[in-house]
Amino acid sequence: MKSTCRDSGTEGRIVNVTSVGHAMMTYPEGICFDKIHDPSGLIDFIAYCQSKLANILHSNELSRIFKEEGVNISANAVHPGVIMTNIFRDRTIVGAFFNTIGRIICRRVEQGAATTCYVAMHPQVKGISGKYFADCNISSPSLQASDAELAKKLWQFSLQTVSS
């Protein structure tokens, strides 16, 4: 991607899909690095929110690295909204709620894709990097999602994990 952007002079765009859940319920330390390889101590919904926090942190660190390298690639995170999916299929009570009420309050898949498409393609987003978007607008993520040191720690942890 770096080579293509350099050779073509075209901006590359990386869009990571996250969730407002990153701000709802995460572990106090944000990312439980010591539990990632042993998920037995993780709590399902909190682990989901932790993964969404990690998506934003990854986007932020990737954006910082690209800027430092002078590469014409942006990296942003988007919250598509609450979409009617089967994420709660194994949760009887929550699943029943979403199957009933969710049809009324949740977005359709096409509506949920709007922000992702906007950030990936719209000319108004050109040159914008390291941001969190919701409803086709720049939004404010949680304080943990804005923690540059946590983003660097996650990046290093990820590099160590994939190289071992």
**pLDDT attached to residue 26:** 81
Measured CA angle at 147 (ends 25, 58), to 5 deg: 85
Flag whether 163 is in a domain. no
Nearest to 76 by CA among 87, 86, 89, 61: 61
Average pLDDT of span 25-38: 83
What domain count does the chain have?
1
Mean pLDDT of 117-138: 96
Q: What is the pLDDT of residues 55-66, one digit of tens each?
A: 999 999 999 999
Indicate which CATH number applies to the domain containing 19. Answer: 3.40.50.720
- Domain encompassing residue 28: 10-153
Domain presence at residue 34: yes
Does any domain span residue 159? no
Question: In this predicted model, which residue has the larger pLDDT, 109 or 128?
Answer: 128
In a domain, 15, yes or no: yes
Do the domain assignments include residue 54? Answer: yes
Higher pLDDT, 14 or 85: 14
pLDDT of residue 86: 60
Give tens-digit pLDDT for 67-99.
Answer: 999 999 999 999 987 766 666 556 666 666 666
Residues designated as active site? 48
Instruction: Enter the DSSP assignment of 13.
Output: E
Could you tell me if residue 162 is inside a domain? no
User: Is 102 inside any structural domain?
Assistant: yes
Any domain includes 164: no
